Structure formats: structure tokens, C-alpha cells
Amino acid sequence: MNKLITTFSLLSILLFISCNIQPQKIEYGKDACHFCRMNIVDMQHSAELVSNKGKAYKFDATECLINHLDEIDPKEMELFLVADYNNPGTLIDANTATFIISENIPSPMGEYLSAVSTKDEALALQKAKGGTVYNWEELLIHFNNK
């Protein structure tokens, strides 16, 4: 009986650990984009989706993440993460990030799309580099209208 309880406890712990919904570290230069298959090397433009089952999908650019949304049910995704342009390698919540499309800030897939943590940061970039500022919902509409 004790062996059964121990086995059940270990399986429960393993199940809990395996379903942990959190981002996976992007291994720059090693991981490939889930959408376009290019190596992920740009720490200012990478992105990641994590499903409600804990599966992570890594992208070399936010535009690849957005294009991938056409192939899946976004309701099955728990985390929508994008790289903070001002803090390379740091992933931030796409739902609260502010985005800028500026031809003076190149991105890996040529959409000139970058994300920052706050609207003030985006407006400062816009003042310095030009471009258009979007929140997440506006950005999705912009890409759907292309």
C-alpha cells in the first residue's frame, strides 16, 4: 500500500511539473523559429507563445508569432510574449506591451516591428525614429488588414 501511495505521489508531482505554464528560455543562435524555421538570433525582436498545456513555441520575430496565430486557436494559448526592444532578451506580455512599426528600426522579417514595455517608451522611440505606435489589439487588426 505504501508503495502505491509513493508511486501515485511521484506521478502527481511529475504531472504538476510537466504542466507548468511558463516561458522557456530562448537559446539564441540554437533555437529555430516555429513559424519560418530561421535561427533565432535577435534578442530585441524574438517572441514566444505558451499553450494552456505548457507547450512553448519560439519565434524569431513578433510578426512570425502573429502569422502563426492564423494556424491555431489563440484561445489555447496562455502566454503571448514578445522581446522588449529596450531590454534585449527580456520577454514581456504582449497584451500589455506597446508596439512600434518604424522603417528606422529593422526587424528580422522585414516588418520593422518592435515591442517595448510602456507607451512612454514607444512614444520616445517614435519621436527618435518615426513610425506608428500600436497596442496589442490594434497591432493584430493592422496585420489582419494586410
Phi/psi of residue 34, each to 5°? -65, -30
pLDDT surpassing 70 at residue 27: yes
Q: Can you tell me the mean pLDDT for 130-134?
A: 98
Q: According to the model, what pLDDT value does residue 146 have?
A: 77
pLDDT at 5 over 90: no
User: pLDDT tens digits, residue range 80-131?
Assistant: 999 999 999 999 999 999 999 999 999 999 999 999 999 999 999 999 999 9
* Confidence label for 21 from pLDDT (cuts 50, 70 and 90): confident
Residue-level pLDDT at 11:
47
What would the 3-class secondary structure string for the chain be? CHHHHHHHHHHHHHHHHHCCCCCCCCCCCCCECCCCCCECCCCCCCEEEEECCCCEEEECCHHHHHHHHCCCCHHHEEEEEEEECCCCCCEEECCCCEEEECCCCCCCCCCCEEEECCHHHHHHHHHHHCCEEEEHHHHHHHHHCC
Mean pLDDT of 38-47: 98
Read off the pTM.
Answer: 0.85
Q: Calculate the average pLDDT of the chain.
A: 91
Domain chopping of the chain, boundaries: 27-144
Question: Quick one: what percent of the chain has pLDDT higher than 70?
Answer: 87
Q: What is the mean pLDDT of residues 64-82?
A: 95
| The predicted structure's pLDDT at residue 6 | 55
